[in-house]
A and B are shown apart, each in its own frame.
Chain A
Amino acid sequence: MECNGINDIEVIEKVKEGNSAEFEKIITKYSKMIYSIAYRLLRDGEEARDLSQDVFLRAFRFISKYNPEFKLSTWLVRIAYNLYKDRFKTKKLHIVHQISHGDDEENKKYEERFIDNSPRPDEKVENKMKSEQIINIINRLPANYKMVITLYFWGDHSYEEIADIMEIPVGTVKSRLKRAKNYLLENYSRLLEKWK
């Protein structure tokens, strides 16, 4: 619970006692982490900043509800996830793609939309394009799969922490992760085949 010289529990106790200024320490410590996750979920700097702000606003308002059994970072990421889900619903970004095998119609739509059919680029540009395409594939995952992938690859969270954040069993985290990675690999392979 102690990191960067700040003891989260002590800081939270002070905030609960009415010392609002202490909350600055929490923001300073965790804003980069929250922003990184928000950015990877939303892929928009302004939106990510807004979401990060909302996370800390909500955390500050409901600081009395914080359960010290969980790491503060876990609680903050959980808030971020819930806010993200709300926005996801609001913006109707629901993914029509199912994470399944052999849906030709869906695959065709996917290819039409995301796979670049232009001539094969040189290696340097190709690598960049491949990275972008992978991000595109991740962006098209449904919210709960995208969150698992984000926390797994970039959040440095264990399965147990991801389970706590998303309030699902560890087994579900593992199965979602497996399906999501499988989906990414399949689509990435399809993209490479297309570029050959």
Chain B
Amino acid sequence: MEVRIMNCGEIRDFIIEYNGRIEGAGIKPEITAEINSHLVSCRKCALARERMLDMSAKIASDKVEIPANLASSIISKVIPAAEPAKPKIKTVGPTEISFIDKIAELFGISSRNFAFAMSAVVLAALAISLILYNHGLKSGGEAERIADSKGVTQQENIVKEPADKKFKKIENELSKNMTAANNEEIEKKFKRSIFTVESGAVANLTGEYRENELYQVKHGEDLVITYKKVAEVIIKTDSKFKVNDEGIILESGMVSVDLKPKSLPGFSVTTPESVVEVVGTIFSVASSNNKTEVIVKKGCVKVTDIKTKNFSLVNAGESKTVSRQDEVKSETAPVVIEYGSNAVHEAAKTLHANTQASTSEVSHTAETGTVPVGIDGANIKDVINKFKNENITIDK
């Protein structure tokens, strides 16, 4: 029988696999004997084995000094900062459709479906009244009676005023009921969820609160939320957004984020064009017209083009524009406001200058009359007050 003898390469494989420790490594005795025999005759392999043994010993001797208070410091930072992810359970609470319930109670209707239909009828009637009123097809009888009884000649005013007030009263009450109920409901659900509304108002576009539900910030107001207790997020008026466990999905509008460093790994703002991931920072994201503009005030974010999957890091003082036409531009921030007394004025000047220089890059901000704001410092409440409702006039 022919006995095959291992070559140097095969011997080295054994040396490397067993870190030079051939004896006692569980290798078959005949193979061990062959390796030993080879090592006696081959200086190179013997040297390789010696070095492998030496290197392994040196690696094994590497010791790590554990900080004395390691566990306690981690506990102090982890336990209060985090909330375990709760199972997603859809609940239908008693306050879910309070307006319909009220209608049902008013008319003594037990069936909610019928009450819903009744509500629709009432709302439709109000809508028709409004349309008729606006087209001047109002009844003159009552107006004349009121005019006669008060003896006033300015008929139009007398007729219009009570009708206006009456309609407005009904409209206000209805909207109050609906808004109050909705707001209360949304607020309660937000508080149970991964974010809390600090100030401002949000309109729920499709009904109840759910993860990934689309919301729109009420016109004329900014929405301030605390996300997972560690990030303060300002969502500008009229912005459309969703919130989920990874962060915020911005359909349109603008978001400004102030995040404690390293507090929320993986937090991101997603727009139709890009994903902006936080490395620990203060930044703003504006999305409109198939374009996303990211401005970093402090720290660093990772911006990933959703279509091409290309990503880049945007540092403090830089901005990045991602458009759906695959145009990725990076340049010095066109508008970054330092928080200070002349911030808005300076921003307007900067915006004006940049509008002249590159209209396309600031078109969104120019259209809406606002500028992306980086928020500096710990006193975010003051900044929020500054940030809210600041309309910048652009000199034409």
Contact = CB atoms under 8 A, between A and B. Distances in A.
Interface of A: 15-16, 18, 20-21, 23-24, 27-28, 31-32, 35-36, 39-40, 45, 49-50, 52-54, 56-58, 60-65, 83, 86, 90, 127, 130-131, 134-135, 138, 153-154, 178, 181-182, 184-185, 188-189, 192
B77 A64 contact: no
A126 to B, nearest CB: 11
B51 A188 contact: yes
Contacts of A36: 64, 66
B82 interface: yes
A64 to B, nearest CB: 5
Contact of A53 (B55, B74, B86): B74
Given A20-B79, A31-B70, A49-B67, A58 B55 contact: no
A39 B72 CA distance: 18
B61 A131 contact: yes
Contacts of A18: 84
B51 A192 contact: yes
A29 B149 CA distance: 88
Scoring A49, A57, A153 by chain B CB atoms within 10 A of each residue's CB, the highest score goes to: A57
Contacts of B48: 185, 189
B262 interface: yes
B71 A31 contact: yes
Given A52-B70, A153-B59, A20 B84 contact: yes
A24 B75 contact: yes
A61 B55 contact: no
B70 A178 contact: no
B211 interface: no
Nearest to A39: B64
A130 B58 contact: yes
A51 to B, nearest CB: 10
Given A50-B262, A178-B16, 10 more contacts: A18-B84, A28-B75, A49-B67, A53-B73, A53-B78, A83-B265, A127-B58, A134-B55, A185-B16, A185-B48
B263 to A, nearest CB: 8
B309 to A, nearest CB: 13
A65 B85 contact: yes
A32 B78 CA distance: 15
Contacts of B85: 61-65
Contacts of A15: 84
Interface of B: 13, 16-17, 19, 47-48, 51-52, 54-56, 58-62, 64-67, 70-71, 73-75, 77-79, 81-87, 262, 265, 279, 300, 302, 313
Contacts of B60: 153-154
Contacts of B67: 35, 45, 49
B302 A90 contact: yes
A64 B89 CA distance: 14
B186 to A, nearest CB: 24
A21 B61 CA distance: 36
A27 B78 contact: yes
**Which are the 9 A-B pairs with shortest beta-carbon distances?**
A31-B71, A60-B82, A131-B58, A36-B64, A56-B78, A28-B71, A39-B64, A181-B16, A153-B59
A184 B59 CA distance: 11
Contact of B74 (A31, A64, A83, A130): A31
A49 B70 contact: yes
A39 B64 CA distance: 7
B313 A90 contact: yes
A60 B16 contact: no
B74 to A, nearest CB: 5
Nearest to B51: A189
Contact of B84 (A50, A63, A90, A181): A63
Nearest to B279: A90
Nearest to A185: B52
A134 B51 contact: no
Nearest to B263: A57
Contacts of B19: 181
A135 B64 contact: no
Contacts of B65: 45
Contacts of A83: 265
A52 to B, nearest CB: 6
Nearest to A61: B82
B67 to A, nearest CB: 7
A127 to B, nearest CB: 8
B392 to A, nearest CB: 34
A35 B75 CA distance: 14
B75 A57 contact: no
Contact of B75 (A27, A49, A127): A27
A184 B13 CA distance: 14
Nearest to B265: A54
B268 to A, nearest CB: 12
